[in-house]
Amino acid sequence: MIKKGLIKKSLTEIDILYRRDVTGAHATHYAKLAHLELCGWIEQAQDKIVETSSSRFINDTDHKRDIKNIIKKNSNMDYSNNFKKMLIEVIGRCGVEKLEKKVSTLNKDILESELLTLKNTRNAHAHTHTKECTMTLDSPGTNIVRFERIFTALKDYERTIKVMRM
């Protein structure tokens, strides 16, 4: 089960530091940290959903090991190229099709659009020094709002998978 307590606390603490930085000397660093924290949490939350699904639907130990390896090798949070592909490994294309029909269309759209935006920004900032990156980062407060939307969407997926029959 994915939880929000620690990541929400972390993002809030970063936001407080960001707002206290009256000179703005460290604003970019706090914004980058909040962004990377959120992205890391999303990856872990997606992995947890896939892992929980695997425990629920897969009995064969070799298959369980294969899923653990797929999760371990995952290093991004894109909806289609990462999250959906991992889910396909566990519940198959038919299962993902059922899942996507049962979850809120709004939540699916939120995941697709927010994750794409976050992924592009994260990739730009994760591989450059802060001073060399030209892409603008959202404030930590904006990432808190974004986190709440993504958390709600992922919880919808988690709840829907929990009641699915295969």
pLDDT score, position 15: 97
- Domain residue spans of the chain: 5-163
DSSP per-residue letters across 51-99: HHHHHHH---HHHHHHHHHHHHH-----IIIIIIHHHHHHHHHHHHHHH
What's the CA gap between 60 and 46, in Å, rounded? 22
Amino acid (one-letter) located at 66: D
Instruction: Specify the pTM.
Output: 0.92
pLDDT score, position 126: 72
What's the CA gap between 7 and 43, in Å, rounded? 12
Extract the residue ranges of the chain whose pLDDT is less than 70.
127-135
pLDDT in tens, 120-132: 888 777 766 666 6
pLDDT score, position 28: 86
pLDDT score, position 45: 97
